Amino acid sequence: MTKPAIRLSGLTKKFGSLTAVNNVDLAIEPGEVVALLGPNGAGKSTTIDLLLGLARPTDGSAELFGENPRQAIVTGRVGAMLQGGALLPTTTVRESIALIHALHKHPLSVEEAMERAGVTDLAKQKIASLSGGQMQRARFAVAVVSNPDLLILDEPTAAMDVAARHSFWESMREFTALGKTVVFATHYLDEADTFADRIVIMSQGRIIADGTPSEVKSVVTGRTLSFTLESADTASLERLVAVTHLEQRGNRVSLQSEDSDATLRALLTSYPAATDIEIVSRNMDDAFMALTAASEGASK
């Protein structure tokens, strides 16, 4: 049987009295694209350090393809793009990629790695001269040049503008289409919702949710109904049928509703002047906030 790309068993990491990762069990199969989410301090980056062998667990274990992390990394099966990953500032982009290329038995060509990362036009630029977004793309090229089976990304699109983020995820689609396994930590919840097959949410060192994007979002029910209304009476709007929460910005009002059809009928009966009406399902932001708030509340 195929071994999991990642298996964490009872993984725990303590820093003095602080437990950063608390008895985490997780298995990720080859070919999965998994988003690792959580508020600051949830334990995401520490978990990544542990599974890459960059830190030693206080208890439990981490395996990559059935091997200890160091063995899997040495054989080139794992690529990583970390927030603190530094490239030599005096080298060019091409030279930095070529250095890693030379360490592996079956790498991509330097040219292919640059093309996948969208840095071909930056090949001759010094690392020290790159902008934040360009640096992220150079790090991505370094991560993929070994032709890994597993790619670990920690905040990969940080410092990228909208166009660069779009280009990055297009490259990732090509990479995952080859059956590669990807785990990425991000604060951009829309990226997780759009690109991940599976979402794992951490809070206070523990996994509090694990499922498909649809399964995770199902923890919050109802829809949001938004509209424009001059001189809105918020107290009256909050009393409309099935409304659970109201937000207002200027003349724009948003109502969270457990029965958007019933709320809409009541709104138009009482406020026929309401315009620009939109009804949308609750999103990943709503689910994330609900799950992490429940976790933090349970620990008090």
Q: pLDDT per position in the chain (300 positions), as tens?
A: 579 999 999 999 999 999 999 999 999 999 999 999 999 999 999 999 999 999 999 999 999 999 999 999 888 899 999 877 679 999 999 999 999 999 998 999 999 999 999 999 999 999 999 998 899 999 999 999 999 999 999 999 988 888 888 888 988 888 888 889 999 999 999 999 999 999 999 999 999 999 999 999 988 888 999 999 998 899 999 999 999 999 999 999 999 999 999 999 999 999 999 999 999 988 899 899 999 988 877 766
This prediction's pTM: 0.85
Q: Which residues make up the CATH 3.30.70 domain(s) of the chain?
A: 223-281
Residue 31: CB atoms within 10 A of its CB come to 15
| Tokens 């909050």, located at residue | 238
Distance in angstroms (rounded) separating the CA atoms of residues 132 and 291 = 32
Of 159, 206, 164, 202, the C-alpha closest to 183 is 202
Distance in angstroms (rounded) separating the CA atoms of residues 213 and 192 = 8
Q: Which residues make up the CATH 3.40.50.300 domain(s) of the chain?
A: 6-77+148-217
CATH number belonging to domain 223-281:
3.30.70
Domain 6-77+148-217 has CATH 3.40.50.300: yes
